Amino acid sequence: MLLNDYDPLKKKQLTILDPSGVIVTPKLEPNISKEELLKMYKTMTLGRTADIKALQYQRQGRMLTYAPNKGQEAAQVGAMAALEQQDWLVPAFRELNAMLYKGVTLEQIYLYWYGNEWGNHFDEGVKVLPIDVIIGSQINHAAGVAYASKILKKNEVAVATIGDGGTSHGEFYEGMNFAATYDAPLVVVIQNNQYAISTPRSKATKAATLAQKAVAFGIPGIQVDGNDVLAMYVATKAAADHARSGKGPVLIEAVTYRLGPHTTSDDPTIYRSNEEVAEWELKDPLIRFKKYLIDKGYWTEEEDQKLDEENLQYVGDTFKLVEASGTSVLEDIFKYTYAEMTPQLNEQLEAYKKYIEQGGK
């Protein structure tokens, strides 16, 4: 079994597609259809373009604070492609690519970062929870979703994402321990992008790997090359199958790198070198996946150039729609936290209305 073959205590890392786009573990190469492989690649390229443009929009004063995803596309899309339609994504705040693959529209994602609460209103049937900025709390949410699935026999797996720094927060341990104790069908993907804002991974924890934190919960853990979309697919498929079968959670550490800033409020040049970034750029998940697809005869450079142009046009058109939506309605902040507003929220809303009636004084 795959999860048994990659003992995190022995620092074994799963890699199938190396940085040059060559299969190095042929026996583990997944049998994915051409259509799905292209969907994965197209989602990753759209995510890259949307990410770069979002940073530009923010710098132009046209979007609020944004958390870039550049460099982490494979860790997200590979994981989502391995899931079944009914499975849940419980994201943190750096999951643009994962959300796109699971059916959230780019317009909805942009609306959120534009400051419009309606950006968290996803289409019917899209199994994605709203973006969660409170570090670690999404693990508890996902544990609850997974436990509910078990009780109701829904055959749903919940996949939560968290950063390397987030694994030092209490709610990470609480959620993981709860899910492990009750054998809830939960998979947690740690996007180890090497930095918790400016704190390097080496200073965040003394654990040799983040995957080995699974040992404390009595569950499997596996470290994966997070820039290898095929390895992420295989690891997540094995983890989801394990969780779905009633054996409990799995912890996946996706070793990747944040090529951009932590958020648009961050300057990464202060705490990391250009040489370090350049080294990781050679491991770019899009470059290796494109080469793999071209070698298989599924893709061409000409098609790639056309796709880039289409993505740029689509992203630009989408943001125009977002800007045309106008300013968001502040009342939405009160209305959509719960199915029914609590007495406290009603009281706050009434106080806000009175404040507006008095001319904002």
Which pLDDT score, from 0 to 100, does residue 361 have? 62
Same domain, 174 and 50: yes
Q: Is the distance from CB of 165 to CB of 135 less than 8 angstroms?
A: yes
Distance (Å, whole) CA 194 – CA 209:
12
Same domain, 219 and 352: no
Tell me what pLDDT residue 266 has.
95
Question: Burial letters for 131-154: b for 16+ Cβ neighbours within 10 Å, e otherwise?
Answer: bbeebbbbbbbbbbbbbebbeeee
Rounded to two decimals, what is the model's pTM? 0.95
Q: Is residue 94 annotated as part of the catalytic site, yes or no?
A: no
pLDDT of residue 339: 85
Q: Which of 48, 141, 201, 258 is catalytic?
A: 258
252 and 351 in a single domain? The answer is no
**Shared-domain flag, residues 284 and 350:** no
Whether residues 74 and 10 share a domain: the answer is yes
Asked whether residue 148 falls in the same domain as residue 257, the answer is: yes
pLDDT of residue 276: 97
pLDDT at 331: 82
Domain that holds residue 333: 329-361
Which pLDDT value is given to residue 336? Answer: 77
Among the options 271, 292, 338, 352, which is catalytic?
Answer: 271
Give pLDDT, residue 227.
98
* 169 annotated active-site: no
Residues 30 and 142 in one domain: yes
87 and 43 inside one domain: yes
193 and 335 share one domain = no
Q: What is the full per-residue pLDDT of the chain (361 aa) written as tens digits?
A: 799 999 999 989 999 999 999 999 999 999 999 999 999 999 999 999 999 999 999 999 999 999 999 999 999 999 999 999 999 999 999 999 999 999 999 999 999 999 988 898 899 999 999 999 999 999 999 999 999 999 999 999 999 999 999 999 999 999 999 999 999 999 999 999 999 999 999 999 999 999 999 999 999 999 999 999 999 999 999 999 999 999 999 999 999 999 999 999 999 999 999 999 999 999 999 999 999 999 999 999 999 999 999 999 999 999 999 999 877 777 888 887 788 999 999 999 999 888 888 887 6
Q: Choose the catalytic residue: 141, 201, 242, 262.
A: 262
- Say which CATH number the domain at 232 has: 3.40.50.970
Assigned token pair, 205: 């924890």
What's the pLDDT at 330? 79
Q: What are phi and psi of 11, to 5 degrees?
A: 55, 35
288 and 342 inside one domain: no
Count of domains forming the chain: 2
Q: Is residue 262 annotated as part of the catalytic site, yes or no? A: yes
On whether both 219 and 359 belong to a single domain, the answer is no
141 and 83 part of one domain? yes
